[in-house]
Amino acid sequence: MHELSMAESILSTVIENSEKNHAKKVIEVVIEVGKMAMLNSEQVIFLLETLSEDTIANDANFIVKEIPIEIECSECDFNGKLDSTDIDPYTPLPVCQKCGSLKVLVKGGKDIIVKNIVIDQ
Ligand SMILES: [Zn+2]
pTM, full prediction: 0.84
What is the number of other CB atoms lying within 10 angstroms of the CB of residue 98? 14
**Centre of ligand 1 from the C-alpha of residue 78, in Å:** 5
Instruction: Say how far apart CA 14 and CA 20 lie, in whole Å.
Output: 10
Q: What is the pLDDT at residue 83?
A: 74
**Centre of ligand 1 from the C-alpha of residue 91, in Å:** 19
3-state secondary structure (DSSP) of residue 50: helix
The list of the chain residues with pLDDT below 70 reads 1, 84-92
- For the chain, list the domains and their CATH numbers: 2-68+109-120 (3.30.2320.50), 70-106 (no CATH)
**Centre of ligand 1 from the C-alpha of residue 83, in Å:** 14
Q: What is the pLDDT at residue 93?
A: 78
**Centre of ligand 1 from the C-alpha of residue 1, in Å:** 34
Instruction: Say how far apart CA 90 and CA 15 lie, in whole Å.
Output: 33
Instruction: Say how far apart CA 94 and CA 104 lie, in whole Å.
Output: 7
Q: What is the pLDDT at residue 1?
A: 58
**Centre of ligand 1 from the C-alpha of residue 79, in Å:** 8
Give pLDDT tens digits for 63-98: 999 999 999 999 999 999 987 655 666 666 788 989
Q: What is the pLDDT at residue 92?
A: 64
